[in-house]
Amino acid sequence: MSAYNNFTIETDADGIALVTWDMPDKSMNVFTVEVMDELDKIIDQVVADAAVKGVVITSGKSSFSGGADLSMIKASFDLLKDAQAADPATAVKKLFDTTGRMTWLFRKLETSGKPWVSAINGTCMGGAFEMSLACHGRVASNAKSVKIALPEVKVGIFPGAGGTQRVPRLANAQDALQMMTTGSSLTGARAKAMNLVHQVVEPDQLIPAAKQMIKDGLKPVQPWDEKGFKAPGGGIWTPASAQLWPAAPAILRRETAGNYPGALAILKCVYEGLQVPFETGLRIEQRYFTHILQTTEAFSMIRSLFISMQELGKGARRPAGIPKAEFKKVAVVGAGFMGASIAYVTAAAGIPVVLIDRDQEAADKGKTHSEGLVTGAIGKGRMSKEDGEKLLSLITPTPDYAALADADLVIEAVFEDRTVKKEVTEKIEAVLKEDAIFASNTSTLPITGLAKNSRRPNQFIGIHFFSPVENMMLVEVILGKETGDKALATALDYVAAIRKTPIVVNDTRGFYVNRCVFRYMAEAYDMLIEGVPAAMIENAAKMAGMPVGPLSLNDEVAVDLSYKIFKASIADLGAESVDLRHMELVTTLVEGEGRLGRKAGKGFYDYPPKPAKKKLWPGLKDLYPQQKPEDVDIQVLKQRLLVTIALEAARTMEEGIVTDPREADVGSILGFGFAPYTGGTLSYIDGMGVKAFVALCEKLAATYGSHFQPTPLLKDMAAKDETFYGRFAPQAKKAA
């Protein structure tokens, strides 16, 4: 045994050293500076020890490793910032050297002269898989928990520790590019088929099989270090490559609209790297990685999609000093689509749940929804039959409100109608135990108003799920005026238990996400009324980085829902609260044409029977005089769609609805897919610079209407040269 904090080493009678990576106080192994320092010393130790014939590296945890701790990347941003301030001339050189640390450590491992085998269990991602690729042999477990991936592109960077050089020297270039530019996960079997692992074995055979590779005479030399090595398919200058490489950038542009510099860098690294010796390829990769780390996209995506998401998931907004809630039983009232889905994710987290509706038939129908999801998951191999049966056994459908008497949390998910919600609240509270928390799942109705129906408004909170609940990672937790800390802590503990990411918002009509979504759809209405061809609106949205166009999104949420919301706004706030041209448009679709959205098979799109694809309704062009496509500036369309959403996000900060920029950013990406490369709505503004954003708003307002006018907060921030993350710094608030 050797003394390391993160590793143990045991050498057996055959001279094989088993290096077990098991970081103390962490649920998953990650690369840190200390881990790299220790791995460096281990390489030296096994090379110096003549008794060691080879090395097997594995994990002491249920997963191999999640890769590099991205706080190291964050530290690189800080280093760059400090170095640029002190000595701009050497700042990039310092960053280049720092980012190369892992690259050259792995190169040292693979040229150490002794064979290394990586024994992969569970998750093996990012830097951990890049280290495994540097090992001379790789054995993976055949367990369903095995996920092998290089997912860095999803947070704005790319595999920068040799991944772009080793993968295309093992797998064919097309598969290599597909794996790295999408960041998709591979099973052990798929990784073996791609030649990225050598063997896939039963979990209990993992270490014996890895050791056997060494006993069988595994060469301590990588294929690319042997004379005459050729990449699979023959490298760049072959007929097959002549078909692949001209098409690859075009396919990437179709998928990403050129918004992700990290994805394009992967193509460049592979294409250039395969034409030069391996170590030169590593330097090319290091150069591109240093460049990508300096982009606004990488900084913003890492901050929002990794650091902020982790902080929020770990309870950054949870009130201190309140014991963690234990959920022995949760009740969901309302077994419609949303309620049934909430019951499913609750049971999937191992929590017993009572599903209540007006009669047994309606309640049973709600459970049937879960049965369908379980059957689908088993069919796709994502769930075992036993796990499916266990999940379903946790859901009890009943019309009897007495069944929720001992529930720790009740989630009301009935029809979006104040009167219905009032009746249900009173029925629930008649049997609910004193210390239970009451949550309402509502997408638009203010929580403070709903809490007036409760005898204990301090224990009343909003929990807004997004559809489909089982797939959407975001939950909005809404505070009413009287909501207490215990209710907030319980809601956040519940969201953590069902493994979703929460954002906490104060009460307002539409809360945060829906306010932004409504602005997105409203801008599309404006464009239609101006005569912009519908196809240009949808394509501009995708080119701007949105996952779906605003008209398609409106069909998904239902056009008649927009119609109902307009009517409710007019009833509550008067005719001036809505744009009457928009009301006229949706009235025409809903009342005049019966086009209610996807659920009706027709909305802004027509939805023919599968396998035919949906297509825009041709009648849209007859509603308003059409502009010629060549007269429409696509760049302006893209700006309008992103700016209108970002402006609404800024308004919610100004009004105190959202109080933490992390939540505005994470909420916008997870809630409706706001252009992820920007890092979210407020990062989009900060990344552009508030001054530039205000100038763009004023320019758009002059042509397209006063809703583009920058708010007083934005003007003040522009004058003071501030950012949202500076003015509303979450860390500073925590310290205070």
- Please identify which of the residues 291, 464, 582, 707 carries the catalytic annotation: 464
Q: Is 62 helix (H, G, I), strand (E, B) or coil?
A: coil
**Residue that is written with structure tokens 């791995």 in the block:** 39
Mean pLDDT of all residues in 108-135: 96
**pLDDT, position 501:** 94
Structure tokens at 350: 């191992």
- Tens of pLDDT, residues 160-178: 999 999 999 999 999 999 9
- Tens of pLDDT, residues 72-119: 777 777 777 776 777 777 888 888 888 899 999 999 999 999 999 999
- Tens of pLDDT, residues 325-369: 999 999 999 998 999 999 999 999 999 999 999 999 999 999 999
DSSP labels for 340-377? HHHHHHHHHTT--EEEE-SSHHHHHHHHHHHHHHHHHH
- Tens of pLDDT, residues 389-447: 999 999 999 999 999 999 999 999 988 778 888 888 899 999 999 999 999 998 778 89
Q: Is 460 helix (H, G, I), strand (E, B) or coil?
A: strand
Closest by Cα among 304, 430, 185, 372 to 687: 304
**Helices 559-573 & 580-587 angle (0-180, nearest 10):** 140
Q: Is 449 helix (H, G, I), strand (E, B) or coil?
A: helix
**pLDDT, position 2:** 55
**pLDDT, position 30:** 93
- Tens of pLDDT, residues 492-533: 999 999 999 999 999 888 789 999 999 999 999 999 999 999
**pLDDT, position 233:** 80
Please, how many CA atoms are within 13 Å of residue 652, restricted to the half-sphere of its CB? Answer: 32
Structure tokens at 469: 């609940």
- Tens of pLDDT, residues 536-579: 999 999 999 999 999 999 999 889 888 888 888 888 888 888 89
Residue 733 has pLDDT above 60, yes or no: no
**Contact in structure between 17 and 46 (CB atoms under 8 Å):** yes
Mean pLDDT of all residues in 662-683: 96
Angstrom distances, CA of residue 319 to CA of 345, 367, 492, 653: 24, 34, 10, 20
**Contact in structure between 525 and 549 (CB atoms under 8 Å):** no
Alpha helices in 238-333 (DSSP H): 239-256, 261-273, 278-293, 296-302, 309-313
**pLDDT, position 86:** 73
- Tens of pLDDT, residues 478-489: 999 999 999 999
Distance CA 309, CA 667 (A): 10
**pLDDT, position 34:** 93
- Tens of pLDDT, residues 441-475: 987 788 998 899 888 999 999 999 998 899 999 99
**Contact in structure between 427 and 331 (CB atoms under 8 Å):** no
The percent of residues above 70 in pLDDT, for the chain, comes to 98
Give the torsion sign (CA, 666, 667, 673, 679).
Answer: negative
Structure tokens at 38: 């220790």
Distance CA 587, CA 85 (A): 57
**Residue that is written with structure tokens 């029977």 in the block:** 609
Structure tokens at 630: 């060549």
**pLDDT, position 70:** 67
Which band of pLDDT confidence, cut at 50, 70 and 90, is reported for residue 306?
confident
Q: Which domains does the chain have, with CATH numbers?
A: 7-294 (3.90.226.10), 330-510 (3.40.50.720), 514-727 (1.10.1040.50)
Residue 10: other Cβ atoms inside 10 A: 11
Residue 352: other Cβ atoms inside 10 A: 16
**pLDDT, position 576:** 86
Residue 24 has pLDDT above 80, yes or no: yes
The percent of residues above 90 in pLDDT, for the chain, comes to 79
Specify the amino acid at residue 186: L
Mean pLDDT, the chain, integer: 92
369 part of the active site: no
Closest by Cα among 79, 69, 57 to 27: 69
Determine how β-strand 7-11 pairs with β-strand 16-21.
antiparallel
Angstrom distances, CA of residue 444 to CA of 340, 438, 448, 464, 514: 20, 17, 12, 9, 8
**pLDDT, position 496:** 94
Distance CA 185, CA 441 (A): 33
**pLDDT, position 569:** 83
